Amino acid sequence: MSDKINLNKCGKRQCVLYDFLLGLSAAESCHPICAAFGQDAVNGRTARWWFDWFRSGNYNLEDEPRPGRLTEIDDEELRRVVESNPRQTTRELATIFNCA
């Protein structure tokens, strides 16, 4: 098959979980996934991280929320704050918008 399917993160994680449940190693899991979905579909380090995650008993495949990070900043509010003081650093802006 010459055309590779572009698999999203969750799909890749499902493949790794499947291999984990079959008893494969993280290294053994990478080869067939990359053969099916392209060389950069999953790397060994990522597969090992997910295998450790599954070994701990957690089978959640979604990204965990990250505390202290906004998912969205209002562009107009950012523009207003920057225009009111163009000399502010990105660190100061991060503090103002609580995303430091």
pLDDT score of 94? 84
pLDDT score of 100? 60
Specify the CATH architecture of the domain 9-55: Orthogonal Bundle (1.10)
Note the pLDDT tens digit of each residue in 28-53.
Answer: 999 999 998 888 899 999 999 999 99
pLDDT score of 80? 92
Q: Residue 92's CB: how many other CB atoms inside 10 A?
A: 13
Write down the domain spans for the chain: 9-55, 65-100
Residue by residue, what is the 3-state secondary structure of 10-78? HHHHHHHHHHHHHCCCHHHHHHHHHHHHCCCCCCHHHHHHHHHHHHCCCCCCCCCCCCCCCCCCCHHHH
Residues of the chain with pLDDT under 50: 1-2
